[in-house]
Structure 1
Amino acid sequence: MIFAESHTAENLRNELLKSLREWDILKKVHCVITDNAFNITAAIRLTGWTHLPCLAHTINLIVQNDLKLIETIQKKGKK
């Protein structure tokens, strides 16, 4: 699926609702798990569904941030 529109919260919400209507599962969705990007979390809020952040994505963000913090120590260790 190619999404040509701007990835605003409203456009994403509209596309999500359109897809779920096409699949005839709109009334079955109550909670959505996504990454932590503001536009998609805002889109989910606009639908009225519950949003849960993806645990794997959150852990990855934490690890990537912590790796940046120890980068100087790693460089010294490599020397």
Structure 2
Amino acid sequence: MGRDFSHIARRCERAVVTAYRELREVGQSDMAAFQACTTLYRVHHPEASVAEARRLVAEWVDHHVIRASRGPTPGCDCD
């Protein structure tokens, strides 16, 4: 059930993508899942602005969930 996102190197990116997928699987709306994941990203990166968090979450969800791509993504510098 669902996709395996273990290939994602950044812990925050993997956490965001996994959380988004799981929230959608249990019936949360796209916007509710997106907002929760934006908050999750900011837990990992409290220094990030809301706008930066939204941009990264949107890029990661689009890349990994919508397009099901496995290649690298732009993002933060963490592990």
The TM-score range, normalised by the shorter chain, is 0.3 to 0.5
TM-score, structure 2 normalization: 0.32
Larger radius of gyration: 1
Query: As a proportion of its length, which structure holds more strand?
Result: 1
Query: Higher relative CO (CA 8 A, sep ≥ 6), structure 1 or 2?
Result: 2
